[in-house]
Amino acid sequence: MQNKQSVAAFERAQKCIPGGVNSPVRAFKSVGMNPVFVKKAKGTTITDLDGNQYIDCLASWGPMLFGHAHERILQAISDAAVNGTSFGAPSQYETEMAERIVRMVPSIEMVRMVSSGTEATMSAIRLARGFTGREAFVKFAGNYHGHGDSFLIKAGSGAMTLGIPNSPGITKGTAKDTLMAEYNNLASVEALFREKGNEIAAVILEPVAGNMGVVVPTKEFLQGLRDLTTKYGALLIFDEVITGFRLAKGGAQEYFGILPDLTTLGKIIGGGLPVGAYGGRKEIMEMMAPVGPVYQAGTLSGNPLAMAAGIAMLSMIEETPDLYSEMERKAAKLEAGILENLKKTGIKGVINRVGSMMTLFFTDAPQVNNLDEAMTADTARYAAYFKQSLESGIYLAPSQFECLFVSYAHTDEEIDSMIAANLLALKQLEN
């Protein structure tokens, strides 16, 4: 694989951008490689500066359900752009987006648009505190809710990948209000409520964890959190930035049939443009200014280009009846192929999958249900696997603790190529 241009681009970037990247995992540090600089992406193909092509399994960390540069989304963006790129004043795009979200996501009666998932989770926690008059909240080890101060405690994603789950710069005062529990362990949450039940404003979680690799919740765990939060008058917040519109039209809450009080969204609702949102029951959402006293604002919130792209994306989702069944079929085929390859090569691994999101953990552990079990994965082995996959033209997440995303746009031939590349990479690990 020729990578001269990417190497030069990375050298140039490192002189003026910390680490050469605007989001840490992209630097490929944990896989010990030079990052690939993207020239363009179309459908499921990424082309780098050196002209190498890859089948994309990253999907821009989730949003590209229909592949890159989809005609409908491009058209929507260009149609909107001729009428102005930002108003800082209301437009009907925002209402149309909100109406669609309310129609599609079961627990959302009202929604507020922001510009990233991080903003959505920060605002949702502030709202939960304002609504309940309490300050603490419960977060799960290995879950990642963006880079808001109070979330960077035992955080997943890049923080975990780079071994800095507790970032310097977070004050003790902030950290003390974040109560940590173990994913899939209801008893760990019950203990916190027994001790501090009337101080807890909310429990926030990824209803399928994607930022410590995919970790699937048990239905009892989700139901237990619903019952516990209701009993103690705390809010249940589902961070559906990854799962929203990916697992089902109505996200993980529809998939599992458990409704949170508040939901945070991002990625897919922007059709690949920078967007986040938080929504929930009307009585809670009406605590937000200008109706209520909880403040949150943003010049680019509800930006017309982002709304237009997101509306096109949501229309496509509603107009594609076999979207979720096809993604499930293709992802199940990929999972079965990888399991078969593990058997053939004798390499030890656990695959966690829900719908179109999955992670192959290189671990001897029998299962991965929480952060401690995820941490048993051999990250050096993942790095070697990642490198070989890239050589074979498969672009995976550059970290063991992220997801592989199957999209509707992947063809069966591409799934076959992924399975073949997986076998080759596993064989290299044997040697």
Chain positions contacting ligand HOZ, by CB under 6 A: 23, 25-26, 61, 157-158, 211, 402
Pick 158 or 165: Cβ nearer ligand HOZ: 158
H or E stretch including 263? strand 262-266
Pick 63 or 304: Cβ nearer ligand HOZ: 63
**Strand arrangement of the beta sheet that strand 357-361 belongs to:** 350-354, 357-361, 404-405
The residue assigned the tokens 């001897």 is: 364
Q: Are 241 and 264 in contact (CB under 8 A)?
A: yes
The residue assigned the tokens 């076998």 is: 423
Pick 3 or 157: Cβ nearer ligand HOZ: 157
Least distance between ligand HOZ and beta carbon 155 (Å): 10
Least distance between ligand HOZ and beta carbon 61 (Å): 5
Least distance between ligand HOZ and beta carbon 402 (Å): 6
Pick 239 or 402: Cβ nearer ligand HOZ: 402
Residues 6 or more apart whose Cβ sits within 8 Å of residue 292: 130, 286
Q: Which residue is nearest to ligand HOZ (CB)?
A: 23
Pick 157 or 363: Cβ nearer ligand HOZ: 157
Q: Are 105 and 250 in contact (CB under 8 A)?
A: yes
The neighbour count for residue 412, using CB atoms within 10 Å, is 10
Least distance between ligand HOZ and beta carbon 62 (Å): 8
What's the CA gap between 414 and 333, in Å, rounded? 11
Q: Which residues pair with 359 in a beta bridge?
A: 352
Pick 26 or 126: Cβ nearer ligand HOZ: 26
How far separated are the first and last CA of the chain, in Å rounded?
21
Least distance between ligand HOZ and beta carbon 407 (Å): 16
Residue 228, both tokens: 């516990």
What is the longest distance spanned by two Cα atoms in the chain? 64
CA atoms 258, 259, 265, 270: torsion sign: positive
Least distance between ligand HOZ and beta carbon 46 (Å): 14
Q: Are strands 136-140 and 110-114 parallel, antiparallel or unpaired?
A: unpaired
Write 81-90 long-range contacts (CB < 8 A, 24+): 81/305, 83/304, 84/304, 85/303, 85/304, 85/305, 86/299, 86/300, 86/303, 86/304, 86/305, 87/304, 88/299, 90/302
Pick 254 or 402: Cβ nearer ligand HOZ: 402
What's the CA gap between 90 and 180, in Å, rounded? 39
Least distance between ligand HOZ and beta carbon 17 (Å): 13
Catalytic residues: 144, 239, 267
